Amino acid sequence: MFESFFENKKSWLSSEGPDSDIVISTRIRLARNIEGYPFPNRATLAQKNQVFLKVGEAYPKIEHLDSAFFLPMESIDDLDRQFLLERHLISQEHMHYPRGKGLILSRSEVVSIMINEEDHLRMQVIVSGFDLVKAWRIINKIDDEISTYLLFSFSPEIGYLTSCPTNVGTGLRASCMLHLPALVMTKRVDKILELLAKLSFTTRGLFGEGTQALGNFFQISNQVSLGMSEEEIMDSLAGVVKQVKEQELNARENLLKRYLPTLEDSVWRAWGILKCCRLISTKEALSHLSMLRLGVDLGIIKEVGKDIINRFFIMIQPAHLQKIEGKVLKEEERDYIRAELIREKLS
Amino acid sequence: MLCDICHKKIATVHLTEIVEGKVMELHICQDCAKNKAEELKQQLNISDFLGGLTLEGEDNKSMSIKCSFCGTTFYDFKKKGRLGCAKCYTHFKSQLLPLIKKIHGSNEHKGKLPKKVEEKVIVDRNLKILKERLERAVKLEAYEDAAKLRDEIRELEKKVRKED
Ligand SMILES: [Zn+2]
Ligand SMILES: [Zn+2]
């Protein structure tokens, strides 16, 4: 399933859109629940199925979604679920516990709706570059349309009611994914993240578990979802993301001006390893790809395009490799195939 | 803010603990929170990790309040950090509102409304906005605007009364 996604040239991986040299992608999700049913953590399997079917009746009437995939999670095999996770289309929880859960996924991968995750609906739009306006336009329209068919749990005082009170109000979480290699190299990233936390923004590393940011990717999101309008939330996020982006640009300039030999050395070494390796783990590949991407951004390396590197970040992940090869691979086998794939594409 | 335990990573988990009768605030990172969670599993529960909440009115009475629709008790919520249904917000209102205020710094929805919502909700919202604007206009001594706004408010209120 989902083989056609490899051909999606316009997905969030395309490295198009505003400021896409630093802001890789923008994502907005809305949490919604349908009136009359307990939230998924309290609902019986039968009630979850009813929610699934109700959503199933509504979605085909909605623009953008009329030709979408509509699937029970249990009908998607382990590998494909992992594949969707690697493409940021579903969450860990949705992948690990598929029973009673469902998914609506547009063919373009721009829109995904998780059914019966923490809330009845977790609607997500993900676009390339720094483009909250575009992402909001799409998701707002879908939300408006779907809410003419489904009655959402809503209180005039505290807004959309969600399973966890941290999402109540707008139910909105907007996030930007940033590539910040220069801030990491110049050891300024911690200070900046510290400041963001004080301003009530959440940051986390993009790949891997916990706070470690593999490949120097960081995701910045709003924490507050109540007391501000959607536009105000997005404006404030846009403000801090812009600040961080400027800081990264400054750090890059600083590196170019003062530490050019060191910078060039790091970039070309990354290039060398990626072009010659025979076994490489995801973790190691991500760190070299990050340097390579920086090298391309700064014009040090001209032999490869940004879109190719962007795709690498996803292609080298375990489920993607196995889908490309068309079979289940053990870890050592993956490291070999990964190295081969990278060499091939870089030559 | 850096983690109080490892002093390396960003503190994203904020805890309030009572140690020997003193209130201690602890700001720690995800990793240290995980370790600490293991360590304190017996004493703490997940909801303590949710925005660092010390819940108001944590007596036995409020713990046993039960949502009549889904059967979730306030104790269940404290333990799991998840509400069972939309009605829980009504049943646990007096416990939840201070908590929500703590998390978001506000108790008032200012975002969009669903398309399928009672007319009254929309009118109330508009009335509220108009009244706020009127107040501001009066403060700024923009009497012409204020007069216009007052008329609009009257008009809207008349409509509401007719519908009732
Ligand atoms: Zn720590
Ligand atoms: Zn309930």
Q: Is the dihedral of CA B130, B132, B133, B139 positive or negative?
A: positive
- Enumerate residues 6+ apart whose C-beta is below 8 A from A229: A170, B110, B111, B112
Partner residue facing B83 (CB), from A39, A151, A211: A39
Least confident segment among A27-36, A222-231, B74-83: B74-83
- For A116-133, the pLDDT digits (tens) are 999 999 999 999 999 999
* A127 and A219 co-located in one domain: yes
Partner residue facing B103 (CB), from A156, A166, A230: A166
Ligand nearest the Cα of residue B9 is: 1
- For B27-75, the pLDDT digits (tens) are 787 777 777 665 554 334 444 444 444 544 456 667 788 999 999 999 8
* A71 and A200 co-located in one domain: yes
Least confident segment among A66-80, A271-285, B108-122: B108-122
Partner residue facing B85 (CB), from A42, A152, A190: A42
* A53 and A150 co-located in one domain: yes
Q: Strands, E, within A137-286: which ranges? A: 154-155, 159-160, 172-179, 201-207, 214-222
* A237 and A122 co-located in one domain: yes
CATH at A126: 3.30.590.10
Is A53 touching B (CB cutoff 8 A)? no
* A133 and A239 co-located in one domain: yes
Partner residue facing A148 (CB), from B30, B83, B116: B116
Distance A42 CA to ligand 2 centre (A): 8
Q: Please check whether residue A186 lies inside any domain of the structure.
A: no
* A224 and A94 co-located in one domain: yes
- Which pLDDT belongs to residue B51? 43
Which SS3 state, helix, strand or coil, does residue A245 take?
A: helix
| Domain around A36 | 3-176+194-250
- ipTM confidence: 0.86
B122 → chain A, closest CA residue = A156
- Which pLDDT belongs to residue A46? 96
- Which pLDDT belongs to residue A210? 47
Give chain B's mean pLDDT: 77
> Contacts of residue A166 in chain B, CB cutoff 8 Å?
50-51, 103
* A297 and A207 co-located in one domain: no
State how many domains chain A has: 2
pTM of the model as a whole: 0.81
Q: In what order do the strands lie in the sheet with A111-115?
A: A69-72, A102-105, A111-115, A121-128, A23-32, A172-179, A214-222, A201-207
B50 → chain A, closest CA residue = A166
In this predicted structure, the answer to whether residue A340 has a pLDDT above a threshold of 80 is: yes
- Enumerate residues 6+ apart whose C-beta is below 8 A from A252: A182, A294, A297, A298
Q: Does A213 or A48 have the greater pLDDT score?
A: A48
Q: Please check whether residue A255 lies inside any domain of the structure.
A: no
> Contacts of residue A199 in chain B, CB cutoff 8 Å?
none
* A28 and A128 co-located in one domain: yes
Distance B13 CA to ligand 1 centre (A): 10
* A144 and A269 co-located in one domain: no
- For A219-265, the pLDDT digits (tens) are 999 999 999 999 999 999 999 999 999 999 999 999 999 999 999 99
Q: Please check whether residue A64 lies inside any domain of the structure.
A: yes
Ligand nearest the Cα of residue B11 is: 1
Q: Please check whether residue A184 lies inside any domain of the structure.
A: no
Mean pLDDT, residues A54-73: 92
Q: How many CB pairs below 8 A link A and B?
A: 143
